[in-house]
Amino acid sequence: MSGKLAGRLKLSEMLGLRASYNRGFRAPSLAQIGNRVNTSTVQNGLILQTQQISSDDPRLKTLGVPDPKAEISDSYALGMTGEFGRLTATLDAFQIDIKDRIAITDGILTASYPAVAALFPGVREIRFFTNQIDTRTRGADLVLTYKAPLPGGARLGLTLAGTHAKTEVRRQKATPAALIAGASAAVRAAPLVGLTAIELIEVAQPRNKILASANVDIDRFTLTARVSYFGNVKAFSTGLNAADPNVSCDSTNRCVQTFSGKGLVDLAGTYQVAKPLSLTVGVNNLFDTYPDKWNARRFGYVGEAGSYSNGQTPYTRNAGQFGFNGTYYYASANLDF
């Protein structure tokens, strides 16, 4: 069951308070239910398989892993709105709790899990999606907009928007007893969703984002400039060294690299040829900005990330900051019916 309750209180002609509560759900995606990936490698003359098991595989039920079910979310928001002449402002704080969030497990080595080995002969390692964790996201959004006329009938629009959001894994379910039957005490104590998967949720997305844009309408022309800032992200790799300033390591010498925040500049111009037809030319990422690369000795770092792979994969695939395609020019035509 899902639903929403919202309310607004008008404090004055300029100020207002608003609050909302929303309960929703997200059903498992097709990829989370039916995705299967098999990878084979040859070691000591033997073919060993690593498998990502589809969540509807009946062998997982034998191991005590239930079928995927919908994630349940509870969202709370409290904010203030203001209108001060040509300036409009909104500030909202929010909290999103997700129960039974679907995550992918760590690699489960069959050599360490006798019950798994019995069901997956010849397979070295398996992993799968399951409803395993509860998360909480807290943050705030600020949006400022300003509109004003310019000489000659032109119009100016300015927008400044920023968001800060932090997600934490609050709870993880116990590993099914049938899956860890016969395993060592250390294996039984290990969580099903490991640190790498948790980092993908907690620190692989920017916690801070800022967007500033300006639009000028002059007769049939519209000129747009936009600056986007993406905060730092973090990702794990072997080979990193705590002596490097952008690396932090825990007591087990498991290290993550911090990829610094960056800003991108986009420009666009649109001409309204006729009422249904407009032409646009623009450039995204004007200054050809790229994310930080993995640490490597050729760049002067002490450590070298194993994920760098001698330059074959210079950018992390375990974080989602922004793309690494560089500057992009485009032209488009839009026809409205």
With bands split at pLDDT 50, 70 and 90, how would you rate the model's confidence at 40? Answer: confident
With bands split at pLDDT 50, 70 and 90, how would you rate the model's confidence at 42? Answer: low
pLDDT, tens digit (0-9, with 9 covering 90-100), for 172-215: 999 999 999 999 999 999 999 999 999 999 999 999 999 999 99
- Indicate the average pLDDT of the chain: 93
More confident residue, 128 or 31: 128
With bands split at pLDDT 50, 70 and 90, how would you rate the model's confidence at 45? Answer: low
Q: What pLDDT, on the 0 to 100 scale, is given for residue 17?
A: 97
CB neighbours of 122 closer than 8 A, spacing ≥ 6? 47, 48, 49
> What's this model's pTM, rounded to 2 decimal places?
0.88
Distances from the Cα of 285 to the Cα of 6, 40, 205, 231, 331, angstroms: 38, 39, 19, 16, 15
With bands split at pLDDT 50, 70 and 90, how would you rate the model's confidence at 292? Answer: very high
d(CA 47, CA 138): 46
d(CA 332, CA 281): 7
Q: What pLDDT, on the 0 to 100 scale, is given for residue 175?
A: 94
The mean per-residue pLDDT over the stretch 6-29 comes to 95
- Compute how many other C-beta atoms are within 10 angstroms of the C-beta atom of residue 4: 10
The mean per-residue pLDDT over the stretch 320-325 comes to 92
The mean per-residue pLDDT over the stretch 52-70 comes to 91
Q: What pLDDT, on the 0 to 100 scale, is given for residue 152?
A: 87
Q: What pLDDT, on the 0 to 100 scale, is given for residue 106?
A: 87
pLDDT, tens digit (0-9, with 9 covering 90-100), for 72-101: 999 999 999 999 999 999 999 999 999 999
Q: What pLDDT, on the 0 to 100 scale, is given for residue 122?
A: 83
Which residue bears the tokens 């994310």? 291
